[in-house]
Homo-oligomer: A and B are copies of this chain.
Amino acid sequence: MHLIVVGGVAAGTKAAARARRINKDLAITLFQDESDVSYTACGQPYFLSGIVEKRESLIIRRAEDFGKEEIQVRLRHRVINLNPDDCSIQVHDLTNDIVDTVHYDRLILATGARALIPSIPGNDLDGVVTLRSMAELDRFRSVLERLNPQQAVIVGGGYIALEVAESLHALGIETTLLVRNKQIFSRLDPEMSQHVETHLLFKGVRIITGDEISEIVEVDGRIAEVVTQSNMRLSAQIVVLAVGALPNVELAERGGIALGPTGAIAVNKRMETNVKWIFAAGDCVESYHRLTQQPVWVPLGDIANLQGRVAGENAAGGSAQFPGVFGTAIFKSFDINVGMTGLTEAAALKAGFNIVATVITARDKARYYPGAHNITLKLVADGKSGRLLGAQAIGSGSVDKITDIAATALLGGLSTFDLENADLAYAPPFSPVLSPIIVAAGALNKKLDKNGSST
């Protein structure tokens, strides 16, 4: 039995390792078109700023590390065709420029995603960078060193944009965020996003919302400025394109594998595609959202790992399921942490829920204990049952804890009535006597009581 894994950043390497643990007799080959395998994209912004000092820190396992488990890793091998009829793939060895046909018994597609590049004049200039693969990271670093930019324009307002804003600012580069939407980070409700925007402005980042990049202008082969659709001209020597990503589905499509409504590969809970013996996992697939019960595309490293584990187990003859996602995410930008799980108020309304929502601000530790920070927390719950639907938290302190309590509450289908009496860990160095989530749940319950719901 030959298991082939296509792609080896997170989901692919996890799948291969899991398959090996489940089945000692399997032959496993992993094809990776890049020169690096098994690395963390999420850590890249911290390498740019120097918080993470060494490039190799971002590499989780080197290709040769997989030899111990008898997993053959082929770097710089691009899978260019897929023929499910005879269970074969065509592989292009980029180093030796040889194309070969290889047969599989089981196939796992973990082809990932790529940065979206706006089709605008100047998008291929030397100082235009993206962040996702190690090659892109290397180019980003090289641009910083060679061009020594004093001004940057970051196009986009998502995680990567906000994390890179911190990194570039830390390097002394005057940074402007150019965001197409009316708010940065559109996965937050506007009043929560506003707190993030205020913090970044306070830190000295310029933010332009509701405008779009239309051209990158060069002078003598070097970037001089960014022109927006409303004809603003922003001086910059480096332009970071962080406007989103696209799932790499071309190989799957060539093999007749169905995509879902999000444009990513459709899979069931066993991470099986519609084509026999072919699994898919990671940034190239869509997930099932456990609240909206709709497909959703969530290209995040932790989800890729969880899905890779399930795909690897099943491809090796085991039986595992990936039950779906709640859209949990967190990022840090400058001094604030921003966490979210489940649905925002806007998303819940769009999904047809009748909701109640509240925003509170509370300390994350006992008031008198040194280092207590405020957390602003928004909870969204079903307007009748009080079932928690989502949480958004912003602050300098333990936002990650509040987010994970809420994410676990979503997993348990808990209501705000349950949460109001949650038995959480209290001692002054860790929490106020009543956790912010208990306080927020209590505030929502008052609204629910008025709605006439039963406790």
Give the contacts of A31-77 with B (CB-CB under 8 A): 40, 42-43, 46, 51-52, 57-58
Which of A79-87, A107-115, A131-139, A395-403 binds B?
A395-403
Closest to A56 in B: B368
CB distance from A310 to the nearest CB of B (A): 8
Q: Residue on B with the closest CB to A438?
A: B306
Min CB distance A442 to B, Å, is 8
A328 vs B329: C-alpha distance when bound (angstroms): 26
The 8 A CB mask of A304-315 against B (1 = contact, 0 = none) is: 011000100000
Q: List A residues 354-403 near B (Cβ within 8 Å).
A: 366-370, 398, 400-401, 403
* Residues on the B chain within 8 Å of A423, using CB: 290, 302-303, 325-328, 341, 407, 410-411
| A43 and B301 contacting across the interface, CB-CB below 8 Å | no
Query: Among A230-238, A239-247, A424-432, which stretch is in contact with chain B?
Result: A424-432
The reply on A256 being an interface residue by CB < 8 A is no
Query: Which of B337, B412, B435 is close to A412, meaning CB atoms less than 8 Å apart?
Result: B412
Residue in B closest to A410 when the chains form the complex, CB atoms:
B423
Q: Are A43 and B428 in contact (CB under 8 A)?
A: yes
Question: Which residue on chain B has the smallest CB distance to residue A431?
Answer: B400
Cross-chain contact of A400 among B321, B331, B425 (Cβ < 8 A): B425
Structural contact, B332 and A46, CB atoms closer than 8 A:
no
State the CA gap A395–B360 with chains docked (Å): 30
Contacts of A413 in B (CB 8 A): 412
Q: Name the interface size band of chain A.
A: 35 or more
Contacts of A325 in B (CB 8 A): 423
B407 and A424 form a contact (CB under 8 A): yes
Question: With an 8 A cutoff between CB atoms, is A414 at the interface?
Answer: yes
Chain B nearest CB, measured from A317 CB (Å): 13
- Bound complex: CA A310 to CA B58 (Å): 50
Which of B42, B310, B410, B427 makes the CB contact (< 8 A) with A426? B42
Given A412-B414, A433-B301, decide whether A51 and B369 contact each other with a Cβ distance below 8 A.
yes
Q: Give Cα A401–Cα B370 distance, bound, in whole angstroms.
A: 19
**Cα A326 to Cα B422 with chains together (Å):** 9
**Chain B residues within 8 Å of A321, by CB:** 421, 455
A331 touches B424 (CB 8 A): no
Instruction: Give the chain B neighbours of A320 by CB distance below 8 A.
Output: 455
| A interface residue numbers (CB < 8 A to B) | 10, 40, 42-43, 46, 51-52, 57-58, 159, 290, 300-303, 305-306, 310, 319-323, 325-332, 337, 339, 341, 366-370, 398, 400-401, 403-405, 407-414, 418-419, 421-431, 433-435, 438, 455
